[in-house]
Amino acid sequence: MKKVFFITISILLSNASIQAQCVADAGVDTLIWCALDSTPAILGGNPSASFGIPPYSYTWYISEPYNPVPGSTLIFYASDFLSDTTMPNPIIIDYCGSGSMKFYLKITDSLGCTNIDSCLVLSSVYNHHLGYWSVCIWKGDSVYLDIGSNLTGGIGQLTYLWRPNHGLTDSTSLEFWAKPDSSIAYYVTVTDSVGCVGVASPLYYVFVYNVGIDEHTLNDDIKIYSNPSAGIFNISTSGIYDDFQINVFDINGKLIHNRTTHNEKTIKLDLSSYPKGIYLIKLANKDFVKVEKVVLQ
């Protein structure tokens, strides 16, 4: 009986030893986070804690506070980047300004056993400016567009794709000739070396005029006022007798409003239901095109 009792105690102690070895899993060794992607980036394994004796407590942290400007008081902790540092699978809610950051997961089971694991997060972040370039050409002419891109950043080498590709000699280059048949806005989609994609607002607005239209006369005949406005923009069309189309675009080039006029001398355009910001009003028919930037305040 004593021998059997000893064996039983040994087995129980052995099982307790195995159970006490809790293991933390912070997830994949390197996680790519595309900041502009709508898909959330989640840390931790499935599960993030195993073995040991549950329940577990979780603590996510970084090795030391992140200071983007050395010498300043601007300090960030893991809680500034993660949705909850006490969850097994927190979500990244803000990008790591350094481009890469190592996160650590410490788990503790009910017996006080601890284990630590880590993962590296590479943040693909694009910098986007809202500047744009407008150019006017006569129908049949070409223009060389070489400003570059209004989207920078990402990880590694970037590739570019300009859209729409109508009239372009090379839609994958940062410099190209454009020969559109009608007025158009070109915007770029950027993809970095890890597959993160960013889409910019239009950088180039190319306005195509029909031969025979005097631009100065057109500016005198069509006026948009008051600008800026809290919502109502008046369009005066003295001297224009044909019907024409009114299109309104937001700063990203999205068409938000359109209508056709019928020999109206003064048109009231109400944009008060849209967010404050910069918009483009395009007036066009078979003989002319006029585009003007307006500010809704």
pLDDT at 120: 95
10 found inside a domain? no
What pLDDT, on the 0 to 100 scale, is given for residue 100? 86
Domain boundary among 73, 95, 124: 124
Give a yes or no: residue 4 inside a domain: no
Both 77 and 107 in a single domain?
yes
Same domain membership, residue 101 and residue 131 = no
Determine if the pTM surpasses 0.75.
no
Residues 20 and 113 in one domain: yes
Show which of 187, 208, 229 is a domain's final residue.
208
List the pLDDT tens digit at each of the 297 positions of the chain.
444 444 444 444 444 444 558 999 999 999 998 987 778 899 999 999 999 999 999 999 998 888 888 888 888 999 999 999 999 999 998 876 667 899 999 999 999 999 999 999 998 988 888 888 888 888 888 999 999 999 998 999 999 999 999 899 999 999 999 999 888 899 999 999 989 999 998 999 888 876 544 444 445 567 888 889 999 998 887 666 567 788 888 776 678 888 887 777 788 889 999 998 888 888 877 666 777 888 898
The CATH number of residue 229's host domain is 2.60.40.3080
Indicate whether 38 and 90 sit together in one domain. Answer: yes
Residue 142 is assigned to a structural domain of this protein: yes
Tell me if 281 is assigned to some domain. Answer: yes
Shared-domain flag, residues 140 and 167: yes
Q: Do 40 and 118 fall into the same domain?
A: yes
Residue 12: predicted pLDDT: 41
Pick the last residue of a domain from 67, 97, 124.
124
Co-location of 226 and 198 in the same domain: no
Q: 173 and 142, same structural domain?
A: yes
179/194 same-domain check: yes
**Is position 269 within any domain?**
yes
Check whether residue 20 and residue 103 sit in a common domain: yes
Residue 266 forms part of a structural domain: yes
Please give the pLDDT value at position 140: 86
Q: What pLDDT is stored for residue 50 in this prediction? A: 95
> Do 35 and 48 belong to one domain?
yes
- pLDDT for 10 equals 44
Same domain, 37 and 94: yes
Is residue 3 in a domain?
no
The full 3-state SS of the chain, as one line of letters, equals CHHHHHHHHHHHHHHHHHHHCCEECCCCCEEEEECCCCCCCECCCCCCEECCCCCCEEEEECCCCECCCCCCCCCECHHHHECCCCCCCCEECCCCCCCEEEEEEEEECCCCCEEEEEEEEEEECEEECCCCEEEEEECCCCEEECCCCCEEECCCCCEEEEECCCCECCCCCCCEEECCCCCEEEEEEEECCCCCEEECCCCEEEEEECCCCCHHHHHHHCEEECCCECCEEEEECCCCCCCCEEEEECCCCCEEEEEECCCCCEEEEECCCCCCEEEEEEEECCCCEEEEEEEEC
pLDDT for position 86? 97
User: How many structural domains is the chain composed of?
Assistant: 3
284 within a domain of the structure (yes/no)? yes
**280: containing domain:** 214-296
The CATH number of the domain holding residue 28 is 2.60.40.10
